[in-house]
Amino acid sequence: MQIVSSYRKFISKALLVFSIASFLSCSEKASEYFDPRGTDYAGPNECTSCHKQIHDDFIHTGHFNSTADVRLSEFEKFHKNGALFTFGSGESIALAQADSTLDLEVMQHGKMIQSYALDMVFGFRHAQTFGSWNKKKLYEMPVSYYIGEKQWGTSPGYPSDKPFFERSIPKDCFACHTSNAAERPLTTRSDQRNMVNMEMTDDIDPKTVVHGIDCERCHGPGKSHAKSPVKGSIACFSQLTRQQRLDACAVCHSGNDGMKMKSRFEFRPGDAMSNFYSPSPNTEYDVHGNQYGLLTQSNCFQKSRTMDCMTCHNPHKDKPANDKMYNQTCMGCHAAPKHSPETIASNPSNCIGCHMPAQQSRAVKYKLNGETLTRSYQLRTHRIGLYPESSNPK
């Protein structure tokens, strides 16, 4: 009898251990990362374990922060006593803090007549535009926050006479400001994604949005690399040709006016941009959006066999907000430029201030609160050249 009792105790303990192990195993499986882009994606946490310093630098870049969820903690940053913007109709926009959201409220005669939750923000360094979800559409708010001016103004292209809330943000905007946005999650490998099964409508399931530009947006799906980090298991830019490196940036930095043949979300490093959309016949590129087109018009680029975007930009780490680092890059090739004494006296070592001046965008215009004149968004041109009008470079 004692043997039978001991045997039963052993079986009970074994079953208990097995049950706990099964529970932990199931819990682990239940919490496994699911990526809406496809089963061959690993997610950003897998990259951090081996590339911590790159990750720590990258999370502070404009690319990584190109979109985000709106956080309640940002209320003080954006809040102003009174109206953020007053329209010609007399209606005004105010910011309110709700239980779990920041809301834009439309005020008329001191009373709130409409309210919209701020769900998503586009932009990080220069300006921030907000969106509010309604089912599978994200609607752009009529006012944006301009960081340089520390003021609110109309969102680009919006009227200043009355607030307008009916403009949904198309999927093409998500294609360069996020790492994924789709009508539904993809439950197969990402190479099964195409225009027919994922891009027939502009509907977006908010749960499919992967904010910002993450590691796998530029390097491609990384699950196989995370499991076995051997050469060839993920795209390495040092192994790409010059044109392939350029195309990896140009897929988003070459404007949005060409004829689309494939979704940008399908692009993988090594692909040819010409297979995704045909360029616009217009060669008067705007400073906003077509940095690649402007760069290719530069003598510096045309005379070089190696110059690409990464000659000046480190995609993993933003340079300080001054010109010195970029000027040092210029001096690497132009160690003894021929300048007049007047130029040297007025602008010593300010290469990009004269040869890549800030210019007004023809596409992005806005009005700040209380102003009657329309402003043009200013960005530094990527067409390197001679600009006699740049007597006071910025």
The answer to whether residue 364 scores a pLDDT higher than 80 is: yes
pLDDT for 106: 96
**Residue 291 falls inside a structural domain:** no
The answer to whether residue 30 scores a pLDDT higher than 60 is: no
Side-chain-side CA neighbours of 129 within 13 Å: the count stands at 21
Burial class (CB in 10 A: 0-12, 13-18, 19+), 280: middle
Q: What is the Cα–Cα distance from 46 to 55, expressed in whole angstroms?
A: 11
Strand blocks (E) in the chain: 67-69, 85-86, 92-97, 102-108, 111-118, 120-122, 127-134, 137-146, 151-154, 178-180, 210-211, 259-260, 277-278, 358-366, 375-380
Q: What is the pLDDT of residues 53-62, one digit of tens each?
A: 999 999 999 9
pLDDT for 332: 86
Q: What is the pLDDT of residues 74-102, one digit of tens each?
A: 777 777 666 899 999 999 999 988 888 89
pLDDT for 28: 41
pLDDT for 345: 65
The residue that leads in pLDDT, 270 or 4, is 270
The answer to whether residue 344 scores a pLDDT higher than 70 is: no
The structure tokens listed for 42 are 């690993």
The answer to whether residue 16 scores a pLDDT higher than 50 is: no
Q: What is the pLDDT of residues 144-166, one digit of tens each?
A: 999 988 899 999 999 999 999 99
pLDDT for 3: 45
**Residue 16 falls inside a structural domain:** no
- Region 364-378: what's the mean pLDDT? 94
- pLDDT band of 336, cuts 50, 70, 90: confident
**Number of structural domains the chain divides into:** 1
**Residue 73 falls inside a structural domain:** yes
pLDDT for 22: 40
β pairing state of 102-108 and 137-146: unpaired
Ranking 169-173, 191-195, 370-374 by mean pLDDT, the lowest is 191-195
The residue that leads in pLDDT, 278 or 221, is 221
- Region 357-364: what's the mean pLDDT? 92
Q: What is the pLDDT of residues 173-204, one digit of tens each?
A: 999 999 999 999 999 998 887 766 666 788 99
The answer to whether residue 25 scores a pLDDT higher than 80 is: no
The answer to whether residue 31 scores a pLDDT higher than 60 is: no
**Residue 333 falls inside a structural domain:** no
**Residue 45 falls inside a structural domain:** yes
The answer to whether residue 105 scores a pLDDT higher than 70 is: yes
Of 177, 189, 192, residue with least CA distance to 35? 189
**Residue 57 falls inside a structural domain:** yes
Burial class (CB in 10 A: 0-12, 13-18, 19+), 161: exposed
**Residue 53 falls inside a structural domain:** yes
The answer to whether residue 17 scores a pLDDT higher than 60 is: no
**Residue 388 falls inside a structural domain:** no
Q: Domain containing 142: what range?
A: 33-234
pLDDT for 392: 47
- pLDDT band of 393, cuts 50, 70, 90: very low
pLDDT for 209: 97
Sequence letter at residue 157 = G
Contact between 147 and 235 under an 8 Å Cβ cutoff? The reply is no
The answer to whether residue 250 scores a pLDDT higher than 50 is: yes
